[in-house]
Structure 1
């Protein structure tokens, strides 16, 4: 949204890596423009609470239960663009997903139910995590539902075509300035998201995730899900130490919560688990959600940072992703999320260290 989620920030598999130790943002860039606006302007219709809730449930269910294969393209207003090949299989009991990056260094992400694996084909190394992961397009967060509708108003914008498929177009308009609007294209028959835009205050597209081509697949046989994992037989498996913790028990308190965001999990782990153990940097991650978007707060002891790394405070927006990195006594705080910069700053300002 960190060598699984520890060093991968942003949303929907964007080729955006935050080098937390160095405080540098690297993003793939290309000459391709961001996704264009919807083709046919239509009159917006505000959905009532019941209809809005049904839409969220339908879209969430489609992402979990439907099987599909396609190419996902993520672009942002800063010129960054990345693409990946996505295969998602669901037999009604188990879910398998394979995401292969098509740009830059060869990397593959596998998911079997709640187990998340990051593959490095060049080194034959698998980094595996077992925890609830931040949802990525076309999935919605597990908390999407009534809580999300407390902070967003759902509007119907009519219909359009994406990747050759008919889609209903929906707008999630925020009820305050602490979050971005989202525009969705949901496949007419299944409800599967075909495209998702994050919009700035003036309606400009800050980031877009979309399928450039997509094939909806029949339900697979159960044995085909297990067979898909055979590609990593014989690879070296790295299981980084990862512990779910209570943020308060770790000595940190969000004394001024950001309106609408709730803490959904806190974890203690290490940066770059593939590095030698002596070089691994312990880090604490707290994940907050308003039901549709996530913000991660990373807390790292300054003394643990290698002496060769030069840190500088940072406040920046890359597309829709805000990044704030600031010193906090004997620690460094890094806030990352698809929210306005002012919202990210509130997370830092409300965090306090207590003995």
Structure 2
């Protein structure tokens, strides 16, 4: 399900689950903010700005994720290029296992030097991780309260601070530092119900709109080092109903975003469905229960990310192994799991 830093590279991707909303007037060279604190904008305006910035600006820098409650820190070197209609990224892990991930829109390639493996994946349709999801989340402001803050300075850039405070217990809160000129999010804190910092992500070094050769980055993405094994993960976009599932009574504010399955070839097949409230997201992975592989049920957490692993039996007496993961409280994971119901009948058990 991805390493901590890649998954938490939320600063430039947090609002990709959101569609375009009306933006304030943008002057040549960037958004014009006042000299005082952050503007008193709506949630839709703020998140649209966060979404727009990484689609218009290239950058590179060092990105750090820290989790105070577990004394964990990871870092990556990020190169993000906007080239014509493409968004291209190179994410090199600087801590932990050696790993370099390349992304071109929905295509991802990860190189594991220690294992000598290159893994190719298709992440979804082009045009954004969740194209057209914006209209679906216009009601997100019903579940958060926007609290504009003051000014700050991150990685040498002037920023404004804004809080998104949850109005119920289904979600965490967020504090965002946004670049004054571009709106690019430079720092993010995920906040618990008591306001404490659960997880923090930020750039410690950043170059904004540097000259980066996209062709060279794409060539690097396509290169397979001698002696490396190539692994391809194939996933097809689908719907819960198309796979024999219904979704009923999700936690308040959460809506289906996308769903896809991996066909069982040499690997075991699974179905993944993603839900979001416009800020937080939850994924549920469903696969047929296999007692040889699926042994340990339970719950775990690391920073803001909580994971629930459990076995369940559907109405057709078929056993399933469910993994629910998201940057939400555990009660939300259980709510998503409960919302997934197997359709009755004689449909073949999939995936």
Output the TM-score relative to the length of structure 2.
0.78
Shift of 1:313: 2.2
Structure scoring higher RCO (CA < 8 A, sep ≥ 6) equals: 1
Shift of 1:128: 1.6
Shift of 1:12: 4.5
Where does residue 349 of structure 1 map in the other structure?
Answer: 338
Where does residue 28 of structure 2 map in the other structure?
Answer: none
Q: Kindly indicate whether residue 46 of structure 2 is the aligned counterpart of residue 58 of structure 1.
A: no
Q: Which of 51, 60, 67 pairs up with 1:69?
A: 60
Shift of 1:131: 3.0
Distance 1:320 1:123, change over 3 A: closer
CA deviation map 1:265-292 (0-9, x unaligned): 1111169xxxxx65x2221111111111
- What is the CA–CA distance in structure 1 between the aligned matches of 2:320 and 2:221, rounded to whole Å? 40
Where does residue 253 of structure 1 map in the other structure?
Answer: 246
Shift of 1:226: 3.6
Work out the number of aligned pairs and report it: 308
Q: Kindly indicate whether residue 301 of structure 2 is the aligned counterpart of residue 317 of structure 1.
A: yes
- What is the CA–CA distance in structure 2 between the aligned matches of 1:58 and 1:187, rounded to whole Å? 10
> Runs of 5+ in structure 2 lacking a partner?
10-35, 314-318, 345-351
CA deviation map 1:333-354 (0-9, x unaligned): 1111000111111112222222
CA deviation map 1:77-136 (0-9, x unaligned): 222221111001112322210001111221111011221111122344322222338xx9
Where does residue 22 of structure 1 map in the other structure?
Answer: none
Where does residue 296 of structure 1 map in the other structure?
Answer: 283
- What is the CA–CA distance in structure 1 between the aligned matches of 2:218 and 2:46, rounded to whole Å? 32
CA deviation map 1:124-169 (0-9, x unaligned): 4322222338xx9xx9997466343332222211111111221111
> Runs of 5+ in structure 1 lacking a partner?
1-6, 16-42, 272-276
Output the TM-score relative to the length of structure 1.
0.77
Q: CA RMSD in A?
A: 3.0
- What is the CA–CA distance in structure 2 between the aligned matches of 1:155 and 1:128, rounded to whole Å? 41
- What is the CA–CA distance in structure 2 between the aligned matches of 1:161 and 1:210, rounded to whole Å? 11
